[in-house]
Chains A and B, each alone.
Chain A
Amino acid sequence: MALDDPHKRPSAPPGAGRPRSGSAADVPPFAGDEVLPCGRLLSRAWEEAHDAAPPPDPHTVSCPHCREAVEGLATVNAAARALRDEDPPGLRALADRVMDAVRAEVRSGRLLPLADPDRDLRIVESAAAKVLRRAADTVPGSRAATCRLVPEGNGTDVRVTMTLAVALDRPLPDRVHQVRRSVLRSAGQDLGLTVTAVDITVADVLEPGPPLGPRLPTGAGA
């Protein structure tokens, strides 16, 4: 299942974890690397300061040679911060162009009958799914992932299959029940579809905390 993604957003900070544990002698140095007077490699001092996950390495914090080596990158860091904070012009226009191109290549999905046996009225699957996902999203602690709709039989019956991401702070059956009710209500009230069943699978866990925000370097040397 696509949602059972082992590569979930890592909880560790953006650094690479602890770099090589060995001393300078254990690992072949990178080309141009050098051994500091304290015995550490320059590359290791930089990695500890810039890339390692907290807590900070005690040696790096206390060693004057390592500190000096790290400070040698200060100018680069300051300029890098300035570069990072630049807002590239044309960002909004770029997003608009992307979405124009994307909307020209609509993936509509199936055609579904609206609940009128006497007239030829249909709705495309992607439009109906958008509304039903939103109905699922209105249930606190629940967010819809996939939402597929399939016509059943020769009439106007439609079957909905949905996967959800849910928070685990309340019993799952209650939440699934609420979502099903909300989806059925929306299918009737907002769309006008005859939904015979809503098959729901919980496929993911909603993690607490704000899921957004770009991750920026939090290296100890920054």
Chain B
Amino acid sequence: MTATGTTALLGVAAEAALAVPGVAALQPRLARRLAAAAAPTRADTTPPEAGIRADRAPDGSGWHIEVRCVLTESRRALDIARNVHDRVTAALITHLATHGAAEPVTVAVTVTGIAVWPDVA
């Protein structure tokens, strides 16, 4: 695993996204639990953060990162999503530059849920 490989980028992006106030999780907790159950050995099959995807841009010119997150209801969804977008972008650009691999990065944020009610079940 290299410092600028997919796995490392996922970790950097996840850390940046989760640090944003109003982000509850990177995707429904359950999905992660199920993923964990499907790969009980927890070896290399479970991605560090299942709510994030990192792909090479189609023309090979850089990275495209997709962040799927669940928000708490504290603030406007748009503001939290913007914040996630900007912090993840900045964290990745810094990380790549630090490791001498500066490349363009585009980030897309999808809000998959808002914890409107405390856990109902």
Chain A positions within 8 Å of B, measured between CB atoms, are 95-96, 98-100, 103-104, 106, 108, 111, 114-116, 119-124, 126-127, 130-131, 134, 189-193
CA distance A134 to B34 in the complex (A): 29
Query: Taking CB as reference atom, which chain A residue is nearest B84?
Result: A121
A99 to B82, CA, bound (A): 31
Question: Within 8 Å CB of B43, what residues of A?
Answer: none
Per the bound structure, the CA–CA distance linking A192 and B85 in Å amounts to 15
The reply to whether B82 and A106 contact each other, CB–CB distance below 8 Å, is no
Interface pair B108/A192, CB less than 8 Å apart: no
Residues of B within 8 A of A104 (CB): 30-31, 34
Task: Classify the secondary structure of B's interface with A.
Answer: mixed
List which B84-121 residues lie within 8 A (CB) of chain A.
Answer: 85-86, 106-114, 116, 120-121
State which of B2-10, B12-20, B52-60, B73-81 sits at the interface with chain A. B73-81
A189 to B34, CA, bound (A): 34
Whether the pair B110, A192 counts as a contact (CB closer than 8 A) is: no
B interface, CB within 8 angstroms of A: 28, 30-31, 33-34, 73, 76-79, 81-82, 85-86, 106-114, 116, 120-121
A118 to chain B, nearest CB (A): 9
CB <8 Å contact, A130 and B108: no
The residue in chain A whose Cβ has the minimal distance to the Cβ of B77 is A191
Complex Cα gap A40–B73 (Å)? 65
**Known A190-B73, A193-B78; further 5 A-B contacts with Cβ < 8 A:** A119-B107, A120-B109, A127-B112, A130-B114, A192-B77
